[in-house]
Amino acid sequence: MAIELTSDVKGFRDKISILSGEDVSICYQCGECSASCPYSSEMDLLPSTVIRLIQLGQKEVVNSQCIWLCSTCLSCFARCPQGIDIAKVMEALRQLNLRKQKSNIDLSKISREELNRIPQVALIASLRKLMG
User: What is the pLDDT at residue 110?
Assistant: 82
HEC assignment per residue over 54-86? HHCCCHHHHHCCHHHHCCCCCHHHHHCCCCCCH
- pLDDT, one tens digit per residue, over 40-54 is 999 999 999 999 999
Closest C-alpha to 48, from 70, 24, 29, 72: 29
Better pLDDT: 69 or 82: 82
Q: How confident is the model at residue 16 (pLDDT cuts 50, 70, 90)?
A: very high
User: What is the pLDDT at residue 104?
Assistant: 58
Q: Amino acid identity, residue 24?
A: V
- Judged by average pLDDT, the poorest of 2-11, 14-23, 63-72 is 2-11
pLDDT more than 90, % of the chain: 58
What is the pTM for the complete model shown?
0.72
pLDDT more than 70, % of the chain: 83
| pLDDT exceeds 50 at position 1 | no
Rounded-to-integer distance, Cα 72 and Cα 68, Å: 10
Overall average pLDDT of the 96-117 stretch: 77
What mean pLDDT is reported for the chain?
A: 86
DSSP characters over the chain: -PPPPPHHHHHHHHHHHHHH---GGG-----HHHHH-TTGGG-SS-HHHHHHHHHTT-GGGGG-THHHH-----HHHHH-TT---HHHHHHHHHHHHHTTT--S--GGGS-HHHHHHS-HHHHHHHHHHH--
User: What is the pLDDT at residue 102?
Assistant: 58
Domains of the chain (ranges, CATH numbers)? 7-100 (1.10.1060.10), 103-132 (no CATH)
User: What is the pLDDT at residue 132?
Assistant: 44
User: What is the pLDDT at residue 6?
Assistant: 67
